[in-house]
Structure 1
Amino acid sequence: MTLLETRARTGAIARINPVAKLGASALIAIPLILTLDWVSAATALLLEALLLPFAGLGWREFWTRTWPVWLAAPLTALTIALYGEASGQVYVDWFVVRVSEGSLELALATFFRVLAIALPSVVLFVTVDPTDLADGLGQVLRLPSRFVMGALAGLRMIGLFLDDWRAMELARRARGVADAGRLRRFLGMAFALLVLSIRRGSKLATAMEARGFGADGERTWARESRFGAREWALMGIGLAISLIAVTAAVLAGTWNFVLGPSA
């Protein structure tokens, strides 16, 4: 466990059942997926920004965890602005690039949309322990135990990928084969990691079967997964953010249902 993870799990959000975090993220994301307008996405993002300080994350950890989102949002918006559906006044028309009033509006909506959907998911799941998540999926959502235990084992193995990659890199450097041909070295190490992962997964599956994880019947759990007032409060906050965002878009006249004729 890293120092960042230790600090993150001391906050109030860290003690909330992971199923509630999953539900709150879904309640925020689903309405934003169903519409493509900047008002609803910007409203949701503003409300989320007001709640982010209560997540128990330091600013340094927040930026460390969310920088891929901040990178993906403008890149996605740029793609929409250059190649999106043209409407209204056209500002640039060159080859396949067509920047128009409509494409810029869609780009702005996409930018806020990516941030509003991804940021709360990342922040909420930073504090999720895989074992707590498995307990919640098995006891609260009543998912099949074989699926839950398999998913837990897979999550536990993800942390070993980086260690394996570093070990292979150090081994190649020790043999003097890591100084040139970066692309070739990357492909070779990726293939080696794939082979190693398949072998480890096969051994893990055999070991779990030997310990009775694949047996039929109802499974008992070592720890009780509680779903109480804090969990319902978090899901209520997620629902409130969605309702306020949708209401703001409808009142502003920008609501654009993606499955409707105006999409």
Structure 2
Amino acid sequence: MSLLTPAIRPSAVARLNPVAKLAVALIVSCALLLSIDWISAGVALVLEAILLFWCGLSARQFWLRTAPVWIAAPMASVTTVLYGQDSGATLWQFGFVSVTDGSLALGLAIGLRVLAIGLPGIVLLATTDPTDLADGLAQVLKLPARFVLGGLAGLRLVGMFIEDWHSLTLARRARGVGDGGGVAGAFRRFIGPAFALLVISVRRGSKLATAMEARGFGSNEPRTWARVSVFGAADAALVGLGFLIAGTAIAVAVWAGTWSFVLA
């Protein structure tokens, strides 16, 4: 089962080591954070689209999983255009809100960067099994087993968290609680289940921690792993592809003269 969906089609990217996929997302993200220009972000987004095509997500799964990013990108872009730093010719102004050539370019760069950074992370995460990720973090990156197993246990509870929310909502609806209309009704419908879910989560987390300690998961002794996580040539090629995407985006931006190092 993947982190976000249980029905991912087998694909070349999905079968790769999760550590390699995590490395690619971090490499591209770090490269795009070095400058704020629309060319580097646009080039990276185009190159990422080629890679994401092989991730095994159907069109419906892709749009559902990445919907928050597609919503956040235009909002960040519009906000930057209206309230970002002004430079160049003024195109429109109303009170303290103004749109200039510089704010338009900055808004476009911010929107493309949100997409270029967010899409790979979400899609690659959707094709990753939590247990495979834990195996990779512990065996390839040599992270502490206690930290890795605790994170894995938390990820495994995400599905139960969603089911609990759904059950609480249905139970309250059956009792006629929080059916009032308007903003106040919507607020009550959210606060009630949210508080109940918080209590359930704390209790379940405490029980899980006690059970894991009783089974020796908190021991400092070296652990064995049921499945071997191998970082092979295909995984190294994926990491190299991440460096290629980042390097190409930076090189094109420098060539076009839009590259502006944020720390300069």
Same-fold status (TM-score > 0.5): yes
Give matches, 1:92-107, under 5 Å: 92-107=92-107
Deviation at 1:6, TM superposition (A): 4.5
Once the 2 structures are TM-superposed, how far is the Cα of residue 101 of structure 1 from its aligned partner?
A: 0.9
Instruction: Say which SS state the counterpart of residue 91 (structure 2) adopts.
Output: strand
Per the normalisation by structure 2, the TM-score is 0.94
1:120 is matched with which residue?
120
* C-alpha distance in structure 2 between counterparts of 1:246 and 1:210, whole Å: 51
Equivalent residue, structure 1, for 2:75? 75
Aligned-pair distance for 1:9?
4.8
1:49 equivalent in alignment to 2:53: no
Contact 2:179 2:189 in 1 (8 A): no
CA–CA distance in 2 between the matches of 1:24 and 1:80?
28
Please tell me whether residue 199 in structure 1 is matched to residue 203 in structure 2: yes
Bigger proportion of residues as helix: 1
Q: Which residue of structure 2 aligns with residue 31 of structure 1?
A: 31
**Superimposed CA distance per residue, residues 104-139 of structure 1 (whole angstroms, 9 cap, x where no aligned partner):** 110011111111111111111111111100000000
Aligned mates of 2:263, 2:9 — CA distance in 1: 40
The amino acid of 2:131's aligned partner reads: T
Distance apart, 1:50 and its partner CA: 2.2
- Alpha-carbon displacement from aligned partner over 1:79-115 (angstroms, at most 9, x marks no partner): 0000000111112232331211111110011111111
Farther-moved stretch of structure 1 (118-127 vs 146-155): 118-127
In structure 2, stretches of 5+ residues that fail to align are none
For the pair 1:253 / 2:249, whether they are aligned, the reply is no
Residue 133 of structure 1 is matched in structure 2 by 133
Matches within 5 A, 1:194-233: 194-233=198-237
Figure out how many residues of one structure are paired with residues of the other and give that number.
259
Identify the residue that residue 248 of structure 2 maps to in structure 1.
244
* Residue 85 of structure 2: aligned partner: 85
Do the aligned partners of 1:9 and 1:15 also contact (CA within 8 Å) in 2? no
Q: Which letter does structure 2 place at the counterpart of 1:205?
A: A
Give the counterpart letter for 2:132 in structure 1: D
Q: Greater shift after overlay, 157-166 or 74-83?
A: 157-166
User: Which amino acid in structure 2 is aligned with residue 229 of structure 1?
Assistant: A
Q: 1:101 is matched by which residue type in structure 2? A: D
Residue aligned with 1:55, SS: coil
Residue type matched to 2:63 in 1?
W
The answer (yes or no) to whether the contact 2:136–2:229 under 8 Å persists in 1 is yes
Taking the aligned partners of 2:6 and 2:230, their CA distance within structure 1 comes to 21
Query: For residue 63 of structure 1, what is the aligned residue in structure 2?
Result: 63
Q: Match for 2:187 among 183, 187, 195? A: 183
Q: Distance in 2 between matches of 1:158 and 1:95?
A: 46
* Local SS of the residue matching 1:197: helix
Alignment-derived partner of residue 10 in structure 2: 10
Equivalent residues of 2:92, 2:99 under 8 A apart = yes
Contact persistence 1:37–1:109 (CA under 8 A) = yes
State, as a whole percentage, how many aligned pairs show the same letter: 58
CA distance in 1, matches of 2:83, 2:66: 26
